[in-house]
Amino acid sequence: MYSFETQIRVRYGETDQMGYLYYGNYAQYYEVGRVETMRSLGTSYKQMEDAGILMPVIELKSNYYKPAFYDDLLIVKTIIPHLPGIRVVFQYEIFNENKDLLNKGETTLVFIDKSRQKPVAPPPYITEALKTYFK
């Protein structure tokens, strides 16, 4: 298992009429978690896209436990639970500053060759960066 934590502060425009973080914004927070997790492994989405590899989301799950509010500093913990193949699963746990669990989510993405529009194995540098965490 590999995990990485990112902090995000809830902006006013991300809240709904009740003052809660709007539920649709959690998917964007997951994306921030994924992007920063990839960066923590020494790569980036841009690097992969420049090399002709895309990673579309093919499944999203989200469970809400407690609301987040305007100006809350949130911790997005992103977990890669197993070594990726053609598909990669990311799990998310979102906490507030009091360490209360607010949300859990999961996305499944697939590695796609941009020119052929076909699934491919992950780039070797991703597998190599993760190998040590899955012994």
Residues known to be catalytic: 16
CB 107 within 8 A of CB 55: no
How distant, in Å, are the alpha carbons of 31, 60, 114, 123 from that of 120? 21, 21, 10, 9
Query: CB neighbours of 105 closer than 8 A, spacing ≥ 6?
Result: 26, 27, 30, 60, 61, 62, 63, 91, 92, 94
Could you tell me the two tokens for 71? 């100006």
Q: Which residue, among 132, 130, 11, has the nearest Cα to 69 in the 3D structure?
A: 11
Could you tell me the two tokens for 95? 């906490």
